[in-house]
Amino acid sequence: MKFSSTLLSVLSVATAVLAEEVKVFNWTTGWKDLNPDGVKERPVITCNGEWPWPQVRVNKGDRVIIYLNNGFENETTSLHVHGLFQHNTTQMDGPPMLNQCSIMPGDTMIYNFTVPDQVGSFWYHSHSEGQYMDGMRGTFIIEDPDGYPYDYDEEVTLTVSEWYHELIDVLHPKFLNRYNPTGAEPIPQNLLFNDTMNGTWHVKPDTTYLMRIINIGGFNSQYLWMEDHDFEVVAVDGIYVEKNVTDVLYITVAQRYDVLIHTKNDTSKNYAFMQKFDEDMLDVIPTDLELNRTNTIMYNEDAPLPEQIYLDAYEFLDDFYLKPLEEMELLPEPDHVVTITVAMDNLGDGVNYAFFNNITHVTPLVPVLGTVLSAGEDATNPAVYGSNTNTFVLQKDEIVEIVLNNNDPGKHPFHLHGHVFQIVDRGDDYTDAPEPVPYTANDSYVEPEFPSVRDVLYVRPNSYFRIRFKADNPGIWFFHCHLEWHLLQGLSMVFVEDPLAIQQNEELTDNWKQVCEASNQSYVGNAAGNTQNFLDLTGEAVQVKPLPDGFTARGIVAFVFSCIAGILGIIAICVYGMSDIPNLEQRVLDDFNMESKELLNDEDEEEIELQHQSSSSSNSKAKDSN
Ligand SMILES: *[C@@H]1O[C@H](CO)[C@@H](O)[C@H](O)[C@H]1NC(C)=O
Ligand SMILES: *[C@@H]1O[C@H](CO)[C@@H](O)[C@H](O)[C@H]1NC(C)=O
Ligand SMILES: *[C@@H]1O[C@H](CO)[C@@H](O)[C@H](O)[C@H]1NC(C)=O
Ligand SMILES: *[C@@H]1O[C@H](CO)[C@@H](O)[C@H](O)[C@H]1NC(C)=O
Ligand SMILES: *[C@@H]1O[C@H](CO)[C@@H](O)[C@H](O)[C@H]1NC(C)=O
Ligand SMILES: *[C@@H]1O[C@H](CO)[C@@H](O)[C@H](O)[C@H]1NC(C)=O
Ligand SMILES: *[C@@H]1O[C@H](CO)[C@@H](O)[C@H](O)[C@H]1NC(C)=O
Ligand SMILES: *[C@@H]1O[C@H](CO)[C@@H](O)[C@H](O)[C@H]1NC(C)=O
Ligand SMILES: *[C@@H]1O[C@H](CO)[C@@H](O)[C@H](O)[C@H]1NC(C)=O
Ligand SMILES: *[C@@H]1O[C@H](CO)[C@@H](O)[C@H](O)[C@H]1NC(C)=O
Ligand SMILES: *[C@@H]1O[C@H](CO)[C@@H](O)[C@H](O)[C@H]1NC(C)=O
Ligand SMILES: *[C@@H]1O[C@H](CO)[C@@H](O)[C@H](O)[C@H]1NC(C)=O
Ligand SMILES: [Cu+2]
């Protein structure tokens, strides 16, 4: 590395021979009524009865063992440490029905893995059912034995997130609902700063802080800026970068920025640390929603609290230009291009789903890892993973390029498990274009020589990106939108990377198998659970059928939900989605003086009800993988 002095190199050799340390954590989930934003008390998911969840700090090379005890009475759970490579331990990565079975109430999963080759700012969270938005998330820092490549005096972690007053269990069925045909996401009530509101950061004068900023939210990107102080960005998603100074940061959910902040000599005044919703991501902005929040950089307890400060424009650092400190050349031309198109649309039950290439991810009947390990040679055949899981098989060491076209006017932060990737290209914002603008080869485009590298990248509205990585980490890696709402809508796909190597390198632990057995979940067979003929997918879980013949999805929405789509689709989730109203559907009809007959003629009603029922089983399974 460019920055390592002789002394540091000696140190790293010395640390390499140290025995691995084992860091053990014993966590039990539960619920407690708490009031993080100081506005409304609500149940929050706790760890050993406490909230927030603990800050984990380990050293590079450590073995980490987390006992996750499901202390819920009626919910399954899981845990994912975001950003880790999990070499040879894909069974510890977390997503249910991909990498493991769901953990039943009363049961324990032992997450046991090492962190041999990564350092920096990470985090962990439940990978089940939007659970982490109810509070089941925390920071995970891996210390660098070579020391941080930039000088600083003090270190501090800062988490940001949005916050709902309602439980996800309450919002979820209202969101995935035919009375929310546009798929409008529930509007959060507040923004949290280190899990509180109106937060305070106590600082010393004339001090350089290393601040690790982590968006542990599940929906909103945020703008961050400070009064009269700058962010010097020095790392992104666990990758050190050449220093880049900015006064505004834009951070999507799951992203991390390490920044240096130098404090002033003068302690007579306190300064504002501002955060603001990216309001483009909100379908409606309720009048009582505070878009921005003022926190305090506290120099002096006796001085007045700062006023909020305004910006004329939110010109933030473009992460495309962040150059890794350890120069990594652009990977060669891809061996395997995976082109995927993102779209949101309605299926026959009227619910708005999210699609990659017309497929909304539906959870297989057997965890993907179980299929890999039981399929023998067939594991290299994508067919065994089912027709509705969006599974792609990658060959050992091939260069993979994902070309993602966003046929949706929203921003989506995409995350790839098990890897970091290079950002080869990212299209502009085409919000106002008449049609989405997909990627097209363009000879005059100059690819970056040393591209930016990270593990969560957002795509702009109606636009595209291209990312590249080398398939050098055998495992099962989820690729999905990190907006929990969109994950619940099925915006995900699965990479099965070098399956024959997974078969050789990984042996399931007894605990892993026991977790499946406790949930009465088979872990052998293809996506349909067939253990005899892996190419026979009869009985696999599939997505809800499309709308009846003669109706396009958009057509029926326009026809059946015409008034709803325009007015109600948005209002329903905003008003109805936020308060607990019994008989939601009836209320919606009442409010608009409609009877259900007017919404649907009898024949359609029957058809749709039928599909609703037949789909509800696959849907509930689909929810499992989230
Ligand atoms: C974890 O903590 C629980 C509750 O204190 C205890 O019953 C259990 O034995 C602990 N497990 C381990 C592996 O230490
Ligand atoms: C933050 O300030 C608002 C008023 O601006 C108040 O309603 C809320 O209770 C405060 N929250 C906390 C955690 O202090
Ligand atoms: C699960 O338990 C919690 C807490 O006891 C409760 O609030 C919730 O309604 C229950 N959910 C279901 C689906 O039974
Ligand atoms: C964790 O994994 C290591 C290596 O496979 C093994 O030796 C150890 O027994 C495991 N620990 C637990 C608690 O499962
Ligand atoms: C955020 O909370 C953590 C954990 O309590 C604490 O270590 C850190 O100093 C806080 N950050 C700020 C900016 O106050
Ligand atoms: C702050 O004080 C230090 C010594 O305490 C001094 O070296 C430095 O120049 C001062 N900085 C400014 C901006 O005045
Ligand atoms: C911050 O929020 C307040 C209250 O919602 C609003 O009056 C103000 O215009 C906002 N400021 C900015 C810069 O958006
Ligand atoms: C800093 O970011 C800007 C774009 O925001 C870019 O033009 C510039 O090259 C970057 N500089 C470094 C040293 O990364
Ligand atoms: C998705 O469906 C549309 C319309 O039926 C079709 O034109 C398109 O080729 C399909 N895309 C893929 C990737 O299958
Ligand atoms: C091709 O790329 C160049 C340079 O980035 C750009 O100016 C031009 O508009 C692009 N052309 C098309 C058709 O996208
Ligand atoms: C994974 O396991 C295989 C077989 O035991 C071994 O050859 C390989 O080095 C391991 N990979 C890593 C990154 O540890
Ligand atoms: C376990 O699964 C089998 C087969 O899917 C089913 O027949 C059985 O009823 C299930 N048992 C329980 C306790 O759910
Ligand atoms: Cu999304």
Please indicate whether residue 525 or residue 565 has the higher confidence score (pLDDT): 525
Distance 121 CA to ligand 4 centre (A): 25
What is residue 239's predicted lDDT score, i.e. its pLDDT?
A: 98
- Check pLDDT > 90 for residue 504: yes
- Ligand 3 atom with least separation from CA of 72: 2
Closest CA to 544 of 352, 392, 341, 340: 352
How high is the pLDDT of residue 370? 98
The Å distance, Cα 8 to ligand 6 centre, comes to 29
Q: Ligand 5 pocket check: which of 53, 154, 194, 203 to mutate, most ligand atoms within 8 Å of Cβ?
A: 194
Q: Kindly tell me if the per-residue pLDDT of 600 is higher than 80.
A: no
Does the pLDDT value for residue 385 go beyond 80? yes
Tens-digit pLDDT profile for residues 398-415: 999 999 999 999 999 999
The tens digit of pLDDT for each residue in 210-248 reads: 999 999 999 999 999 999 999 999 999 999 999 999 999
Nearest ligand to the CA atom of 105:
3
Band (pLDDT 50/70/90 cuts) for residue 9 is very low
Structural contact between residues 468 and 334, judged by C-beta atoms closer than 8 angstroms:
yes
Ligand nearest to the CA of 292: 7
Burial of 443 (0-12, 13-18, 19+ CB in 10 A): exposed
Using 50, 70 and 90 to split pLDDT, how confident is the model at 10?
Answer: very low
Contact residues of ligand 4, CB 6 A cut-off: 65, 110, 112
Q: How many residues in total does the chain contain?
A: 626
- What does the buried/exposed string (b/e) look like for 153-180 if buried means 16 or more CB atoms within 10 Å of the residue's CB? eeeebbbbbbbbbbbbebbbebbbbbbb
* pLDDT tens for each residue of 25-57: 999 999 999 999 999 999 999 999 999 999 999
pLDDT at residue 610 is higher than 80: no
Phi, psi of 42 (to 5 degrees): -160, 160
Q: What is the pLDDT of residue 229?
A: 97
Q: Which residues line ligand 10 (CB under 6 A)?
A: 442, 444-445
Best of 278, 280, 292 for a ligand 7 pocket test (most atoms within 8 Å of beta carbon):
292
Does the pLDDT at position 380 exceed 60?
yes
pLDDT band with cut points at 50, 70 and 90 for residue 133: very high
CA of 140 to the centre of ligand 11 (A): 24
